[in-house]
Amino acid sequence: MNMGSIAMIIVALTLLYLAIVKKFEPLLLVPISFGMLLTNLPFAGMMAEPLMDVKEHISSTGAIQYIIHTAEPGGLLYYLFQGDHLGIFPPLIFMGVGAMTDFGPLIANPKSLFLGAAAQFGIFVTFFGAISSGLFTAQEAASIGIIGGADGPTAIFLSSKLAPHLMGPIAVAAYSYMALVPIIQPPIMRALTTEKERKIKMSQMRIVTKREKVIFPIVVTILVSLIVPPAATLIGMLMLGNIFRECGVVGRLEDTSKNALINIITIFLGITVGATATAEAFLKIETLVILGLGVAAFAIGTGSGVLLAKLMNKLSSTPINPLIGSAGVSAVPMAARVSQVEGQRADPSNFLLMHAMGPNVSGVIGSAVSAGVLLSLFG
């Protein structure tokens, strides 16, 4: 065992500690860190590619034929990883997210779509930062920038298309920062708002009808697919899951999507993403830069959402608490809960959760659209 593998095993054990003891996003970090452990164990061969044997055969007609068969099968994680490599697992995760998501707050307050869009600003600022560093190509920079959307499946989906060799560091950074939302966001939110702004109470939202909730995913799918075709895969599966939820006639499909299926895919996605974090791929200066750019993207996205919410509050006839702007990153529903906690810290009688869910779910749409834009430009 070389020193690089030992270092990666220590990193894996550290992430396991954070997931199990500190409860930092355990549903994701436990499989990711264990996959990282498995791939760095000597002689285990969990990510080994199959060895193919090619034999030359002359047919009865004299034609030369090549017969290919598997001389030695690959490791288990190699085969599971094809779900990442081929872009299968992230859209299935999106379907489960759609089945769990209530778009009612966004429909009730369409203006919150702008807050979700503003939070994606960090993606594009970080993209240019990665390009200017001189360490990354445009495709790699695009994959790094998407970390700012705080959406792990989207980061994996885009990096699998544009920079598969960086999938491990990007995925670990994306999921780590998602887990650290309650730590990273509050200082930024307090720095950009006054106590008076944090105490703002918002008016009760209108009731959204079932018809609106059924029509919404259909309209969004059509519009996004026509405007940004590369985003159709993620948005289409997200909205399919939401149709399962809202139509009221496929309860079994809804239940499977948001429970059994998403849990199974989360296991496969997590362990195979972790398995890409080998010493050769991870222990490089580029990885440290990716981690730094990732947190910068996340911070800029949070700040952009808060600042736009401040501006909207000044221009709007109805009060808008700027804290809900930070929920525009697509860490659902964690970012919305942080808005709620910070609002109640300023005023215990303030309830912002449902108002923050509008920007939060629009952030899911925004990150998928941003990935589609980057894929169309650099794919």
- φ/ψ of 55, rounded to 5, equals -120, 140
Confidence category of residue 25, pLDDT binned at 50, 70, 90? confident
Instruction: List the chain domain ranges.
Output: 100-378
Task: Give the Cβ contact number of residue 137 at 10 Å.
Answer: 13
* Gyration radius of the chain over CA positions: 22
Q: What SS3 state is found at 55?
A: strand
Residues 313, 51: contact at Cβ < 8 Å?
no
Task: Find the range with the poorest average confidence among 17-31, 46-60, 137-151, 189-203.
Answer: 46-60
Q: How far is CA 170 from the centre of its chain?
A: 10
Residues 12, 37: contact at Cβ < 8 Å?
yes
Give tens-digit pLDDT for 159-215.
999 998 888 888 878 877 777 788 889 999 999 999 999 999 999 899 999 999 999
Give tens-digit pLDDT for 66-83.
777 777 889 999 999 999
Sequence-ordered alpha helix ranges (H) in 41-179:
76-85, 89-100, 104-108, 112-118, 121-132, 138-145, 152-162, 167-179
The continuous run of DSSP H or E covering 344 comes out as helix 334-346
The token duo for 375 is 């894929």
Contacts of 6-13 with C-beta under 8 Å, sequence gap 24+, read 7/279, 7/283, 8/36, 8/40, 8/277, 8/278, 8/279, 8/282, 8/283, 9/37, 9/40, 9/41, 11/36, 11/277, 11/282, 12/36, 12/37, 12/40, 12/274, 12/277, 13/37
CA distance 158 to 162: 6
Give the sign of the dihedral formed by CA 199, CA 202, CA 204, CA 208: negative
> In the predicted model, what is the mean pLDDT of the chain?
91
Taking 90 as the threshold, does the pLDDT of residue 115 lie above it?
yes
